[in-house]
Amino acid sequence: MRQPLDVIDAERVACGTPAGPADRAAARRELYWEILSGGSGFLLTVYIWVHVFDVGSLLFGPEGFDRLAEFLEGFYIAQPVVILVTLLFLAHAVAAARKIPARARERRRFNRLARELAGADQRWRAGEGAERPHEDSRLWVWQLRTGMLILVLGSFHVGLMIIDTFTAVWGERHGMEAATTMERVAAGLSWFYLVLLVLLAIHASVGVYRLALKWGVAAGRSRPALKRFARIFGIAFLAAGIFVLAVMAGWLPPPFAFLLGS
Amino acid sequence: MSQAAQRTLKFEIFRYNPEDPASKPHMQAFELQETPFMSLFIALNKLREEQDPTLQFDFVCRSAVCGSCGMMVNGRPALACKTLTSQLERTIRLHPLPAFRLVGDLAVDTGSWFRGMTERVQGWIEAKAPFDPDAVEERMDDEVARAIYERERCIECGCCVASCAVANTRPAFVAPAGLNRIARFMMDPRDRRKTGDWFEVFASDEGVFGCLGLMACQDVCPKELPLREVYAYLRRKSLTGILSRRAKPAT
């Protein structure tokens, strides 16, 4: 029979931990970190939705996209937003990463516990207090995994957009242009963006769920209800994103192009 | 109750005696005939009486009140007295609760942990004024009394601590039971301390901000305490707590 790892933890004296010095400044710092990680996550979620809609101007044809881009850049809305979102993106990564267990042994323990809890409920017949299968721990692990991938893929995307917005390296002028964007996506970046969309949908919906849970938003709703909402939210984002991406990659013709007469 | 087919249960029980240098942690298999309405409490006692008198486990009340029989049942913390074998598959795997000091086999020392936690979070009433036996008792709002009672229902079995991923990896974390305790005394109007006093106790990485919100604690709690409510309450209190002053020192 396999020897359980738990014995290591069972042997450890958990009660003997000294009380940390109750430090008001440290507590205050922790609160700021918590607000930063949750708040930046929330703002980024709002942003990706806005983003799907502003890129969605492509549904009106390349001209629609160019007009919106020129408007946003002409009034200097796009540039500060790009910088702000980049900073928010990095801040969120730093603040949220503080919760990732650093040691492999801790991660093993996390995973094992999550697996055991989830598995136990399947072996448990319906009974008092035991009918709820545990999936929140698994969701959290996936939130971390998708988050780390988004940091990598998202950084590339953000880098591209910074170059696009502030230089004339690609296209004819400083700023976004439908032609370069579409060419780039059609040439193969579409798959990259598809992956990024899926990752964002998972990460953001789990994140929104957990944020509501932590701060008692919709406290009257059950956790399955919150999860259902998060799932709908994620699927809606994915559907909208894929639709826009399909137009961008040239898989679909822009459906509303006739409105601008092109 | 249809208990037609009586099963032969297979138990896999964790055995280890830390006091005995010759003892090695291992799993021991037992077999037992299932009887109607058999709880793990009955099953373990039968095993000890009939098969192995050295088997160590804790029991007192056998009715989910004392909180001493918490153990890992098929990898999930549960009270043995509240778990019927009919809820489980034929093979039942029992481990001691992790995150506590092992006494032996399935028995763990939750008492020292809870005492340490209580001392650390100062989970007691600091009276506003010296007790006056002749005075009329202060009235309490019904809603507040109910809210306090909801926190007070905790039986200190340690199931939440055992299921908490953070408590399992960071021993300094006050764990669900500790946060619940803090909330209980924070909402008590008889307590002298203000949110400003509590702020540094609960708003730290060892307090509510260490919590990842995995909610295993609430899923396994045998008393079904509304722990999600507790964490949201503490988080929200931290927003005002940062501005709140401490209570004046007692005179």
**Is residue A16 a part of any domain in this protein?**
no
The alpha carbon of A146 is separated from its chain's Cα centroid by a whole number of angstroms, namely 7
Residue-wise pLDDT for A144-155, tens only, equals 999 999 999 999
Indicate whether A31 belongs to any domain.
Answer: yes
Backbone angles phi, psi at A170, to 5 degrees: -110, 145
Does any domain span residue B116?
no
Residues B85 and B128 in one domain: no
Inter-chain residue contact B27 with A223, CB threshold 8 Å: no
Residues B102 and B126 in one domain: no
Share of chain B above pLDDT 90, in %: 54
Weakest-pLDDT range from A101-110, A223-232, B167-176, B180-189? A101-110
Residues in chain B with CB shorter than 8 Å from the CB of A99 are 212
pLDDT at A56 over 60: yes
Kindly state whether residues B98 and B133 are assigned to the same domain: no
The answer to whether residue A97 scores a pLDDT higher than 80 is yes
Query: Any chain B CB within 8 A of the CB of A131?
Result: no
Q: Is residue A1 part of a domain?
A: no
Check CB contact of B228 with chain A, cutoff 8 Å: yes
Nearest by CB: B209 against A1, A6, A34: A34
Sign of CA dihedral B251, B201, B156, A226: positive
pLDDT of residue B4: 54
B78 pLDDT above the threshold of 50: yes
Per the structure, the complete domain to which residue A177 belongs is given by 25-251
pLDDT at A11 over 60: no
What CA–CA distance (Å, rounded) separates B152 from B217? 16
Segment among A212-216, A217-221, B243-247 with least mean pLDDT: B243-247
CB within 8 Å: A216 and B12: no
Which positions in chain A touch B238 (Cβ < 8 Å)?
31, 34
Tell me, what's the pLDDT at A135?
A: 76
Query: pLDDT band at residue B205, thresholds of 50, 70 and 90?
Result: confident
Strand-pairing partners, residue A134, are: none
Best CA proximity match to B98, nearest among A117, A184, A139, A33: A117
ipTM computed for the complex: 0.87
Nearest-angstrom CA–CA distance, A187 and A194: 14
Q: What is the CATH number of the domain that holds B202?
A: 1.10.1060.10
B126 and B226 assigned to the same domain: yes
Query: Domain for residue B29, yes or no?
Result: yes
B153 shares contact with chain A (CB less than 8 Å) = no
Q: What is the pLDDT of residue B219?
A: 86
B112 inside domain: no
- Radius of gyration for chain A, computed over Cα atoms and rounded to the nearest angstrom: 23
pLDDT on residue B1: 47
Q: Answer for the pair B199, B241: CB distance below 8 angstroms, yes or no.
A: yes
pLDDT band at B108 (very low <50, low <70, confident <90, very high): very high
Per the structure, the count of domains in chain A is 1
Residue A120 is assigned to a structural domain of this protein: yes
Q: What is the mean pLDDT of residues B184-207?
A: 88
Residue B42: per-residue pLDDT:
94
Phi-psi category of residue B215: left, alpha or beta, with phi > 0 → left and psi -120 to 50 → alpha: left
Q: Does A127 touch chain B (CB under 8 A)?
A: yes
Q: Is residue A167 part of a domain?
A: yes
**Is residue B146 a part of any domain in this protein?**
yes
Identify whether B193 is part of a domain.
yes
Is the residue at A58 inside a domain? yes
Q: Specify if A61 maps to a domain.
A: yes
Q: Are both B141 and B215 inside the same structural domain?
A: yes
Phi, psi of A250 (to 5 degrees): 85, 10
For chain A, give the number of residues: 262
Q: In the predicted model, is pLDDT for residue A230 greater than 50?
A: yes
**Distance from C-alpha of B233 to C-alpha of B151, rounded to nearest angstrom:** 12
- Per-residue pLDDT, A167: 83
Minimum distance, in Å, between the CA of residue B199 and any CA atom of chain A: 7
Characterize B206-238 residue by residue with b for buried, 16 or more Cβ atoms within 10 angstroms of its Cβ, and e for exposed: bbbbbbbbbbbbbbbbbbebbbbbbbbbbbebb
Say if B117 falls within a structural domain: no
Residues B84, B61 within the same domain: yes
Q: Do B168 and A113 touch (CB under 8 A)?
A: yes
Does B233 reside within a domain? yes
List the beta strands (DSSP E) in chain B: 8-15, 26-33, 70-73, 76-79, 91-95, 101-104, 107-109
**Residue A32 CB contacts under 8 Å (≥ 6 apart), including other chains:** none
Residue A131 has pLDDT above 70, yes or no: no
Q: How confident is the model at residue B28 (pLDDT cuts 50, 70, 90)?
A: very high
Residue type (1 letter), A81: V
**Looking at the domain assignment, is residue A202 inside a domain?**
yes
In this structure, what CATH number is given to the domain that contains residue A177?
A: 1.20.1300.10
Identify whether residues B183 and B90 lie together within a single domain: no
From B79, B82, B121, select the one nearest B230 (Cα to Cα): B121
pLDDT of residue B237: 92
Q: Does B163 touch chain A (CB under 8 A)?
A: yes
**Last residue of some domain: B44, B73, B107?**
B107
Mean of pLDDT values over A79-89: 94
- DSSP for B57-69 reads ---S-SSSSS---
In angstroms, the CA B234 to CA B163 distance is: 20
Which residues in chain A are contacts of B213 at CB distance < 8 A? 136, 140, 210, 213-214
For residues B94 and B154, membership in a common domain is answered with: no
Asked if residue B141 and residue B209 are part of one domain, the reply reads yes
pLDDT tens digits for range B116-134: 899 888 889 988 888 889 9
- The CA distance from A255 to B152, in Å, is 61
Q: What is the number of structural domains in chain B?
A: 2
* Average pLDDT in chain B: 89
pLDDT bucket at B5, cuts 50 / 70 / 90:
low
Residue ranges making up the domain that contains B91? 8-107
For residues B172-192, give the mean pLDDT: 91
Contact B212 A128 (CB under 8 A): no
Pick the residue with more confidence: A112 or B40? Answer: B40
Q: Alpha-carbon distance A24 to B245, whole Å?
A: 11
pLDDT tens digit sequence for B222-231: 999 999 999 9
CATH of the domain at B45: 3.10.20.30
Chain A residue with Cα closest to B73: A120
Residue B53 in contact with partner chain A when CB distance is under 8 A: no
Q: Which of A110, A117, A206, A211 to mutate to test the interface with B (most CBs of B within 10 A)?
A: A117
Residue-level pLDDT at B206: 86
Predicted pLDDT at A6 = 45
